[in-house]
Amino acid sequence: MTILKRKIETSHGTLALRETDGTGIPVLLIHGNSSSGAVFRNQLEGTLGSEYRLIAPDLPGHGESSDAINPDRSYSMEGYADAMTEVFRILQIERAVVFGWSLGGHIGLEMISRFPGMLGLMITGTPPVAADEVAQGFRPSEHMGLAGQEHFSEIDIENYARSTGGEPFEDFFIEVVSRTDGRARRLMFEKFAAGTGDNQKEIVANADIPIAVVNGLDEPFVNVDFVANVRYRNLWEGKTHTIKNSGHAPFWDKPDEFNPYLHRFIKDVSAR
């Protein structure tokens, strides 16, 4: 199996992509705040990447992508959703499955109204909240405040990298947090708090497409009980799923347990 790395020009800036040569349905993997597509290594390099065309972009201002041409336009959940929808247009992809982690899940929810070819969406570490429910959907955490902070000290970088990535910890977590355009964190958080995007609680209550929810049981940032009790119109398998001894990134810390969920979801929704 080959993983192709390339860059494409978009109206949001130059975006870096990792893409496998699997011939199955395209699957877009959207990373979280201050991360990059490299975090999906355990999916890209495994059987999922061999079977399906996995595409893992770096968001504007993240990883090997350029900073946003217009930060005010791009650095929000809806701005990122527009950028990811543009990736599909450039790659001439009309039907795809989307998996979003943390911020990536919020982006995926915003994409439902923008990309009519979405066959299904899986979210991890993403509470579908209305603007007035942020405190209910997220758990108080020592490092939660860093998510919207523009300037990071060296300690901030390490704390954020370790709390979001979990174990096994690798140096690239430090590198991607350090590289991230700090304006991306600040502007995204300000716009989220102001409720500029769609009401994500209403999105999941009304979306026709299947939505899968898979979280780590030891999730440090998200209230998994809140997520389980949100009303979903089309919740995959009729329930939310949790993985024991897993934190904010189960696809990273428990790939052998997480990947079968993603594999089964892709097969289910692509067969519809």
Q: In CATH, what number does 3-270 get?
A: 3.40.50.1820
Distance CA(207)–CA(78), nearest Å, equals: 17
Checking if the pLDDT of 191 tops 80, the result is yes
For the stretch 4-62, pLDDT in tens is: 999 999 999 999 999 999 999 999 999 999 999 999 999 999 999 999 999 999 999 99
Which of 129-133, 141-145, 262-266 has the lowest average pLDDT?
Answer: 141-145
Nearest to 38 by CA among 156, 158, 153, 171: 171
Q: Which long-range contacts (CB under 8 A, 24 or more apart) does 67-73 make?
A: 67/13, 67/181, 67/183, 68/12, 68/13, 68/181, 68/184, 69/11, 69/12, 69/13, 70/12, 71/181, 71/183, 71/184, 71/187, 72/187, 73/12
Pair of tokens at residue 245: 């001894």
What is the rounded average pLDDT for all residues in the chain? 96
Taking residues 168-188, what's their average pLDDT? 97
For the stretch 72-106, pLDDT in tens is: 999 999 999 999 999 999 999 999 999 999 999 99
pLDDT score, position 193 = 85
- The domains of the chain are located at 3-270
Q: What percentage of the chain exceeds 90 in pLDDT?
A: 90
pLDDT score, position 176 = 98
For the stretch 208-245, pLDDT in tens is: 999 999 999 999 999 999 999 999 999 999 999 999 99
